[in-house]
């Protein structure tokens, strides 16, 4: 017989294929298929915190009561609100508790005319295309059961659309792109592509297609829920939640590319205190080290980091230090790391990953020994001096040339497992800090994969342009990241590059971005501003130039006054932030989320892409276009809304025109809530 009940799950076998469907959390199923001799796995080799050896993003399976039925016509497995039915030719259909079809495998075959699958196309739903001498290209095809379906999540892509239906996305990590392959559907299901291979997904009107360029198996997780919140909470239960955010991280973070010396950084911190301005974190950016791969302060420009850190702590400012995964061939650790196999390899040509400020290769974060090595260096040179938060930059990792097939990790080829790198990078420092006794761990990364949140990853949107167009992209990116499970997310306020600090047009953009930053999970000012400063020195990290000043007083008086207003508002919001950060920690609730998350029964709320909820109480509507001094705002049905600035009150279910002078971001308070 093709079907076998195996422990708590269902197995189907036909020819070389082995298909396993099993419960994985409440109202959720995991589906795996392979054509290898055994179901493969390598998470144990990587040191992931999973129950089996092939769980990747998923936490250990929780026991569930399932209902499994096998007959001559097929089989079914039911777990709470979700049920999978498999025909005798292996086609899978997935239903919710109402009997509504959620997903249907796209199979076109001559195998069985009675099963309504007769077709001359001969297209497999689960296709394993052999790579000669290797594994498989894997493709999963699912029919679109409703062309009006709306799809959200999937991580961070530099485009302005929140609804991803009709779009094709690359499943790969790049600077400013984070592939986090979990999608939330308006039809009432969530779907995780549990495969870290490089590939693509197409959310077509007719067919949804997931593709991995190289893989040993097909693996996905699916859950059903009546509301987006139920789906997100089930996903958080399966992949983990963020730690509780420490109180200081809820305040304002000051950063620029880059403070060149210890004294320059301290002068900025002292000036914030002198002016009485709130500041929680200040950042030592990249190239404060002698060479890449020497994770320590350059003693020429940072002569007494212990004294610097003490002075900052006395001012109640945390110091965040930049870490890069790149290792320069000239650095003191190169020989030892290459001898021990701690670096990423190339399949052909000269071994090099990046050529920025030296020929470098990245440490192999998928190798437990490499993770331990890098953490010990960082602990000795930073953590033991009092640094409690790290900026884990270049987390994709970034390559000078994105030939994914040319790089090989401890766990296998980049094309097969490479998307897991940022998760393992976060794990490097999370595990080390946890072992040192730290709680409420948070580190800043430029990329993520599914499950990164449980390793304290705060993700920012990378090296983006200082334009209103880029600004609009970040709003969509942040909301979709939250729905992909990454509750902690931020941007470079003002964008990263392309801004002249004396340009009035940039001043307007900076003001609008700064206002929005006040209503983001983390409020962080950063950027590489023009004009570039003269080079400070010629040795070590000083070979890298620094941008113009980027403090709130570095621009015009008008910019300064608006920034002050929102700095103090952010401070007053801290008690509220604690509550919404607790929800992110407890249930995986996104800190910022589309209107439909809190108002799923309001059909109009599903169509709004330029406003969002900041926790349950505040609707924020950022001004996303140059020169705009008012904007239309949709207020969802099911609540009464009060303009935070004017006190005007409105019943929900309507569009209002909100005044937006340069110092105002439209914000509406829900029911009895007030802006502090």
Give the CA angle between residues 252, 255, 260 to the nearest 5°. Answer: 145
538 vs 577: CA distance, rounded Å: 44
Q: Which residues have C-beta within 8 Å of that of residue 8, sequence separation ≥ 6? A: 22, 23, 63, 64, 66
596 within 8 A of 228, measured Cβ to Cβ: yes
Instruction: Give Rg (Cα) of the chain.
Output: 25
Give the CA angle between residues 76, 80, 85 to the nearest 5°. Answer: 15
Give the CA angle between residues 624, 630, 632 to the nearest 5°. Answer: 80
- Give the DSSP letter of residue 546: B
463 is annotated as an active-site residue = yes
Beta strands in 290-411 (DSSP E): 318-323, 326-328, 345-346, 360-362, 389-392, 407-409
20 within 8 A of 74, measured Cβ to Cβ: no
Point out the catalytic residue in the list 463, 530, 571, 609. 463
Two structure tokens written together for 671: 């029911």
Point out the catalytic residue in the list 55, 135, 396, 610. 396
Question: Is residue 76 helix, strand or coil?
Answer: strand
Point out the catalytic residue in the list 233, 393, 598, 617. 393
Secondary structure percentages of the chain, helix, strand, coil, to 5: 25, 30, 45
Q: Is 357 exposed, middle or buried (0-12, 13-18, 19+ CB in 10 A)?
A: middle
372 is annotated as an active-site residue = no
320 vs 291: CA distance, rounded Å: 19
503 vs 286: CA distance, rounded Å: 26
199 vs 415: CA distance, rounded Å: 8
Residues in the chain, total: 676
Instruction: Tell me the catalytic residues.
Output: 393, 396, 463
């Amino acid at each position: 017989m093709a079907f076998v009940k195996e422990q708590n799950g269902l197995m189907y076998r036909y020819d070389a294929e082995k298909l396993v469907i099993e419960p994985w959390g409440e109202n959720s199923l995991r589906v795996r298929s392979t054509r290898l001799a055994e179901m493969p796995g390598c998470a144990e080799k990587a040191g992931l915190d999973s129950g089996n050896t092939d769980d990747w993003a998923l936490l250990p399976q929780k026991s569930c009561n399932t209902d499994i039925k096998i007959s001559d016509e097929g089989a079914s497995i039911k777990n709470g609100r979700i049920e999978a039915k498999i025909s005798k030719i292996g086609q899978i259909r997935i239903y919710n508790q109402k009997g509504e079809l959620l997903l249907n495998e796209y199979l076109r075959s001559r195998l069985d005319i009675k099963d309504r699958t007769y077709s001359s196309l001969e297209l497999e739903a689960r296709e394993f295309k052999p790579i000669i001498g290797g594994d498989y290209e894997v493709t999963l095809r699912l029919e679109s059961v409703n062309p009006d379906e709306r799809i959200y999540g999937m991580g961070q892509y530099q485009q302005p659309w929140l609804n991803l239906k009709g779009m094709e996305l690359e499943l790969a990590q790049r600077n400013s792109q984070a592939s986090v392959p979990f999608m939330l559907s308006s039809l009432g299901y969530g779907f995780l592509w549990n495969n870290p291979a490089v590939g693509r997904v197409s959310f077509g009107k007719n067919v949804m297609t997931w593709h991995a360029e190289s893989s040993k198996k097909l693996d996905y997780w699916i859950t059903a829920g009546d509301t987006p919140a139920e789906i997100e909470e089930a996903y958080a239960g399966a992949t983990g939640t963020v730690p509780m955010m420490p109180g200081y991280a809820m305040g304002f973070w000051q950063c620029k590319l880059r403070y060149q010396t210890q004294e320059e950084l301290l002068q900025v911190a002292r000036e914030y205190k002198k002016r009485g301005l709130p500041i929680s974190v200040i950042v030592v950016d990249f190239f404060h080290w002698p060479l890449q791969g020497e994770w320590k302060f350059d003693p020429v420009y940072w002569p007494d980091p212990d004294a610097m850190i003490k002075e900052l702590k006395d001012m109640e400012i945390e110091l965040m230090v930049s870490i890069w995964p790149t290792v320069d061939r000239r650095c003191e650790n190169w020989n030892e790391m290459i001898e021990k196999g701690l670096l990423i390899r190339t399949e052909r040509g000269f071994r090099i990953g990046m050529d920025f400020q030296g020929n470098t290769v990245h440490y192999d974060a998928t190798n437990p020994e490499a993770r331990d090595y890098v953490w010990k260096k960082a602990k000795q040179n930073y953590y033991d001096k009092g640094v409690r938060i790290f900026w884990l930059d270049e987390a994709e990792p970034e390559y000078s040339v994105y030939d994914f097939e040319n790089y090989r990790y401890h766990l296998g080829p980049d094309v097969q497992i490479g998307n897991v790198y940022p998760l393992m990078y976060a794990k490097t420092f999370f595990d080390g800090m946890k072992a040192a006794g730290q709680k409420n761990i948070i580190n800043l990364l430029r990329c993520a994969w599914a499950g990164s949140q449980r390793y304290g990853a705060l993700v920012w949107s990378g090296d983006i342009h200082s334009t209103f167009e880029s600004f609009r992209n970040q709003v969509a990116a942040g909301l979709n990241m939250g729905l992909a499970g990454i509750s902690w997310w931020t941007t470079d306020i003002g964008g990263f590059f392309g801004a002249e600090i004396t340009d009035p047009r940039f001043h307007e953009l900076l003001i609008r971005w700064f206002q929005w930053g006040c209503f983001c999970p983390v409020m962080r000012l950063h950027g590489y501003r023009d004009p570039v400063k003269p080079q400070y020195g010629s040795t070590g990290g000083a070979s890298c130039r620094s941008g113009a000043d980027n403090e709130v007083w570095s621009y015009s008086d008008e910019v300064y006054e608006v920034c002050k207003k929102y700095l103090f508002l952010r401070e007053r919001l801290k008690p509220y932030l604690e509550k919404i950060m607790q929800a992110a920690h407890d249930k995986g609730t996104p800190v910022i989320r589309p209107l439909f998350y809190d108002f799923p029964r309001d059909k109009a709320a599903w169509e709004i892409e330029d406003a969002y909820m900041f926790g349950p109480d505040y609707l924020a509507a950022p001004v996303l276009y140059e020169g705009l001094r008012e904007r239309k705002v949709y207020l969802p049905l099911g609540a009464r809304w009060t303009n935070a600035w004017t006190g005007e009150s409105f019943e929900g279910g309507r569009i209002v025109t909100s005044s937006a002078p340069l110092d105002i971001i439209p914000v509406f308070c829900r029911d009895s809530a007030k802006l502090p």
